[in-house]
Structure 1
């Protein structure tokens, strides 16, 4: 468990919410940390899960993404193939900005 010797930090914890972002490579233990935070009653917002939900067929973001990146990103059944989308989105800064402009407002909502 992390502890702080900072009085200002401790005071901040009692007055306001502490916001923590968890990131890292695959296998780094992000899920373990998040599960522990949940176990202790922390509210967890999973941006990956939200992002995946936005890609589901029928959402407004789905329609915008398919319009922006074309039918080539679709798998059988019409779902977005995340690998195909990633290949196109990370091909240029412009393409990534386009994807972020579609997804980020909905994720932050």
Structure 2
């Protein structure tokens, strides 16, 4: 019986690295962020709803949604974030569910979802995994990766459920405070158990 595994983490926790590695091992990973980009694609129903909600000033010169401009609005205002989520989440879910149903017939499927627990989507998974780093490491990595000052980086981290909370809710934790090789070793172990039906 194939399993649906919810993979989550926080900004700059290394979730994307884990996700890419799992995909390299031949598993299907459905990435909520990829679907989110489809929702905001120029001309899509989501695109028009987002412009109606936030105004045309969030568009760039090519009339694409400027993700940085939209990010500035939603990361600092929970109500605005909620407004965006109400537009995008049902659409993302619809697309992901359709793909999940197709792929689960052939193998295990990983759902890469940043807001897995926040949106109660863990209940749709057989197993949940969090890619974990300490807050200190998360802050450092985010500042150096995105060139953010401490206040902006902290605002982004604070807009999410803490990794400590996610860790407590998860069936499994990949600790990413060390070297990348160490993360990959933990993933290999997990995938082996999954294949041997030990999970």
Normalised by the length of structure 2, the TM-score is 0.43
Matches within 5 A, 1:48-63: 48-63=33-48
Report the counterpart of residue 94 of structure 1 in structure 2.
79
* Residue-by-residue CA offset, 1:70-104 (whole Å, 9 max, x unaligned): 01101001001111111222342221111000000
Structure 1 stretches of 4+ with a deviation exceeding 3 A read none
Higher strand share: 2
Superposition RMSD on alpha carbons, in Å?
Answer: 1.8
TM-score scaled to structure 1, two decimals?
A: 0.74
Equivalent residue for 1:4? none
Across the two proteins, how many residue pairs are aligned to each other? 94
Note the alpha carbon deviations across 1:2-27, whole angstroms, 9 max, x for none.
xxxxxxxxxxxxx450413132343x
Structure 2: how far apart are the matches of 1:53 and 1:47? 10
CA gap of 1:56–1:22, structure 2 versus 1, over 3 A, is same
Query: 1:30 is matched with which residue?
Result: 15
Task: Select the structure that is richer in helix.
Answer: 1
The structure whose Rg is larger is 1
Work out the CA distance in 2 between the residues paired with 1:50 and 1:75. 20
SS at match of 2:51: helix
Residue in 2 aligned with 1:41? 26
Tell me the secondary structure at the aligned position of residue 45 of structure 1. strand
